[in-house]
Amino acid sequence: MPKTQKITTFLWFDSQAEEAAKFYVSIFKDSRIVGITRYDDEAAKAAGRPKGSVMTVAFELSGQEFTALNGGPLFKFTEAISLVVHCENQKEVDHFWEKLAAGGEEVQCGWLKDRFGLSWQVVPTVLVEMLQDKNPEKSKRAVAAMLKMKKLDIDALTKAYEGR
């Protein structure tokens, strides 16, 4: 039996779990739908969902396990939780930003909401290094530049960080 991770992110959707999982899998390399469960008579009655409709979708994004649930409209996503995509270069930032923001909402400082309302942070790894720099002036300049951006621009962040 394959080893599963200790903690799995569980995402509650109204009725778009399968659509969302397919969308996310299409964006990230090394990703796949692992399995789909459907509401049987008893579960459908308890949840008020149609019998035979998708209940959960297990999927992996770059090796990370997730489960999407069609639980109805009771709960919605908020910015109180977000998924962070660590990007090695601007090409990755641009790719994930364009794909995840499509039909959603660009927010600020690398944050966006996808078309399902889930919040994401698309962050270049170099920014984390800048923010943790022991020189407070450098990190302060990087933060000031970041606060003016929606999608993060590595070149502009680097120039600010270096004081150029």
As a whole number of angstroms, the distance between CA 79 and CA 110 comes to: 13
Domain positions in the chain are 9-70, 82-162
Residue 126 CA from chain centroid, whole number = 19
Burial environment of residue 119 by CB neighbours within 10 A (0 to 12, 13 to 18, 19 or more): buried
Distance, first Cα to last Cα, the chain: 54
Point out the residues of the chain with pLDDT beneath 50.
none
**Superfamily holding 82-162:** 2,3-Dihydroxybiphenyl 1,2-Dioxygenase, domain 1 (3.10.180.10)
What pLDDT sits at residue 4? Answer: 73
Task: Write out the CATH class of domain 9-70.
Answer: alpha beta
- Coil, helix or strand at residue 154: helix
What pLDDT sits at residue 2? Answer: 60
